[in-house]
Chains A and B, each alone.
Chain A
Amino acid sequence: MTLQEIASKMHDQVKVLNKTDFRGEVTLEVPLDQIVSACRLAKEQFGFNFLTDICSVDNFGEEPRFEIVYELYSFDTKLHLRLKTRVSEDHLEAPSIVPIWPTANWHEREIYDMMGIRFTDHPDLRRILMWEGYPYYPLRKDFPLEGKPSEMPDVAFSNIAPLAGGPFVTSPGPGGTKDHEPRAHPAD
């Protein structure tokens, strides 16, 4: 079965909002309430036995704002299928697919940590990179790269990193490296 046949067969069983073909890659966008059944269908009927990755996208300024991207792969047919779904900022919840692919556990924790999308029925929804209690979601578009100060006594803290106009500022011209590359704190 080719990828196109799989896509059209999935179209019969779940609602597909949008189908994109790009350089042999097929992307199906499904509504949020059907993502679990779409994933289950892809695994059980079409043999996508490997979840490569789950990513999230912040389309800041659009509605619905967030997007979750599931990359599926089949070791039997060697086909790659991409599923997408949109999550609104007002209702930041998505169903967990840990029961289908257990490897989704840490991927969903990372999305929760970095984007702030909560996964309902997740067995262990804790932050994975930042510490528990950190008040921000750093990969959102409205979060500055230099960070925001946070204070949790005895647990952790963070301060604003000096960017001096950009993350990798070097300026040519006379003077030493002290002038070319701004330091974290002035030498005194």
Chain B
Amino acid sequence: MATTTPAAYDSKIEGNVIISRLDACINWMRKNSLWPMPMGLACCAIELMATAAARFDIARFGAEVMRFSPRQSDVMIVAGTVTYKMALAVKRIYDQMPEPKWVIAMGACASSGGMYRSYAVLQGIDHLLPVDVYVSGCPPRPEALLEGLMKLQQKILLEKAVSEQKHAKAELEPVA
């Protein structure tokens, strides 16, 4: 008597397969290894260092690799007062970062010039760079910066990593 076997089903293989969207996978990888470019310009940099140290431990969010090289970083944390003399240096470093890249404006000065309403201070780094997350405070506590980082992670999850890039490429190519 012939035995009937069900349609090929191997429980071992099935348990190891996850079906997802490519966008979701790429975004998930990106958001969990955000390497910061620490742009410490004033007292906010002290809080940025505290965020990286053991008590607050930015490593819990995969952002512990503070690279002082723009070539290997994903998110620029502008921490402090941006003077006009420094502004173009900040812009130049941002331009050297590879895509995709994000910017966190940490503290009142980086966000709006803060209390420095004067001839020497750029009134917010968003005059030069596209800022993704503004963190309020003067300076913000490390918890606030971590919250800003988590907001950025949520924002990255909503990005269209693949589909939008394809779309942009199609726009760039001349129509034959």
**Chain B residues near A131 (CB-CB < 8 A):** 84-85
Minimum CB–CB distance for A131 against chain B, Å? 5
CB of A155 within 8 A of CB of B88, answer yes
B118–A146 CB distance below 8 A = yes
B87 cross-chain contacts in A, Cβ below 8 A: 156-157
- Tier of interface size on chain B: 10 to 19
Per-position binary interface string of chain B over residues 94-128, scored 1 when its CB falls under 8 Å from any chain A CB and 0 otherwise: 00000000000000000011011111111110010
Contact A156 B88 (CB under 8 A): yes
| Secondary structure dominating the interface of A | loop
Chain A 45-84 against B: per-residue CB contact (8 Å), 1 yes, 0 no?
0000000000000000000000000000000000000000
Counting chain B CB atoms within 10 Å of each CB, which of A144, A167, A184 scores highest? A184
- A150 and chain B: residue at smallest CB distance: B84
**B118, B119, B124: most-surrounded residue (chain A CB, <10 A):** B119
Interface size on A, residues (CB 8 A): 25
A144-188 CB contact bits vs B (8 Å, 1 = yes)? 111110000011111101110001100000000000000111000
A83 to chain B, nearest CB (A): 30
Residue of B84, B113, B116 near A158 (CB, 8 A) is B84
- Cβ of A139 to closest chain B Cβ, rounded Å: 10
Interface of B toward A, CB cutoff 8 Å: 84-85, 87-88, 112-113, 115-124, 127
Binding site for B on A (CB under 8 A): 129-131, 136, 138, 143-148, 154-159, 161-163, 167-168, 183-185
